[in-house]
């Protein structure tokens, strides 16, 4: 029997280009007007896309804008 390999969470969309510096979770929280803990919870549950750089999570402005637009469409 071949053991199953655990795959890491893949981002829902990969930005084609960086539209500025990568944002830390606290900076994303300010832009979204939420608590930093909400950002971490949303990433952990897969509700907010992120870029993983090693153990760190980062965001782009475009990624957050796209996520907000998708929320308005729903």
Q: Which residues contact 9 (CB under 8 A, 6 or more apart)?
A: 46, 52
List the alpha helices (DSSP H) in 15-60. Answer: 25-32, 36-44
Cβ–Cβ under 8 Å, residues 40 and 58: no
Strands 56-58 vs 51-53: parallel, antiparallel or unpaired: antiparallel
pLDDT tens digits, the chain, 74 residues: what are they?
Answer: 544 544 455 555 555 567 789 999 999 999 999 999 999 999 999 999 999 999 999 999 999 999 999 988 86
Cβ–Cβ under 8 Å, residues 21 and 31: no
Tally of residues, the chain:
74
């Amino acid at each position: 029997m071949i053991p199953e390999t655990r795959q890491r969470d893949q981002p829902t969309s990969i930005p084609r280009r960086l539209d500025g510096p990568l944002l830390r979770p606290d900076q994303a929280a300010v832009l979204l007007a939420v608590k930093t803990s909400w950002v971490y919870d949303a990433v952990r549950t897969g509700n907010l896309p992120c870029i993983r750089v090693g153990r760190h999570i980062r965001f782009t402005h475009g990624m957050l804008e796209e996520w907000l637009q998708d929320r308005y469409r729903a």
